[in-house]
Amino acid sequence: MTTTETPTIAEPPTERTRLKRYHWLGKYDRETIDAIIDASIVCQVGYVINSEPYVTPTNHWRIDDYVYWHGSSASRMLKEQQRGIPVCFTVTHVDGIVFSRAAFNHNVQFRSVMAFGKAELCDEEVKRKALEVFVDRLAPGLWDYARKPTEQEWKATKVIRMKLDEVSAKVNDGLPDEEPEDLATNLWAGSVPLRLAQLEPVPDPKLRPGIEMPAFVKNYLYTK
């Protein structure tokens, strides 16, 4: 088992978000929660339609106390969510593999967030501003560089948001807490850190001659 006894800053807001197993891994302060959400570009959104459970991976972004995601105006998921059905939002980062002396204690190092709530449809003004924030989140300056959406493209897109008022994080950055008899063995234990690798940009082969790579691509640095 892995233990990292770091004290939390605030009490969990609800019984649903209070960690029961490995409770010492729980984090309830917004600084930690927001950092984990902001460090990811893909979330998983869980919901139920006609008694059938679904979990949909999608891009997300955060503005203040809300998380946002978007999709087609014809999306069944968004149509149901805008009606106010319960939603579960999660993000996860895998930061390392933990190797123990005992097979039972192998683990992973991770950061995760889980939030519960009901989503709401953004009106046109909020939608347009939110999508601009999303695009610039991918690369600062991208919104001003790219062609702006047409009215038909705006109509084809919905933006949903959910308030972060029932949310908690779980963070494991420790090593195995092993039994004394295992510590006495001649077996290696430790961790292998993992991170998302950024590679060289790949130009679109259909680029017209003479088009230079913009600065926000040349200087792009993914450090999450």
DSSP for 19-79, written as a single string: --TTGGGEE--HHHHHHHHHT-SEEEEEEEETTEEEEEEEE-EEETTEEEEEEETT-HHHH
Q: Give the pLDDT confidence score for residue 186 in this predicted structure.
A: 94
Report the percentage of the chain scoring pLDDT > 90.
Answer: 80
Q: Is residue 10 part of a domain?
A: no
Q: Give the pLDDT confidence score for residue 21 in this predicted structure.
A: 85
Q: How far apart are CA 175 and CA 101, in angstroms?
A: 11
CATH of the domain at 67: 2.30.110.10
Q: Give the pLDDT confidence score for residue 64 in this predicted structure.
A: 95
Q: Is residue 14 part of a domain?
A: no
Q: Taking a C-beta distance cutoff of 8 angstroms, is the pair 58, 71 a contact?
A: yes
Q: Residue 36: give the domain boundaries.
A: 23-199
Q: What is the pLDDT of residues 14-44, one digit of tens each?
A: 889 888 888 999 999 999 999 999 999 999 9
Q: Is residue 208 part of a domain?
A: no
Tally of domains in the chain: 1
Q: Is residue 103 part of a domain?
A: yes
Q: Taking a C-beta distance cutoff of 8 angstroms, is the pair 203, 213 a contact?
A: yes
Q: Taking a C-beta distance cutoff of 8 angstroms, is the pair 161, 66 a contact?
A: yes
Q: Is residue 3 part of a domain?
A: no
Q: Give the pLDDT confidence score for residue 188 in this predicted structure.
A: 95
CA-wise closest residue to 118 among 75, 162, 171? 162
Q: Give the pLDDT confidence score for residue 13 in this predicted structure.
A: 76
Q: Is residue 141 part of a domain?
A: yes
Between residues 6 and 70, the one the model is more confident about? 70
19 Cβ contact list (under 8 Å, min separation 6): 12, 25, 26, 168, 170
Exposed e or buried b per residue across 25-64, where buried means at least 16 C-beta atoms within 10 angstroms of its C-beta = bbbbeeebbbebbeebeebebebeeeeeeeeeebebbbee
Q: Give the pLDDT confidence score for residue 1 in this predicted structure.
A: 37
Average pLDDT, the chain: 91
* Mean pLDDT to the nearest integer, 181-185: 92
Q: Is residue 216 part of a domain?
A: no
Q: How far apart are CA 70 and CA 214, in angstroms?
A: 26
Q: Is residue 105 part of a domain?
A: yes
* Mean pLDDT to the nearest integer, 139-145: 94
- pTM for the model stands at 0.89
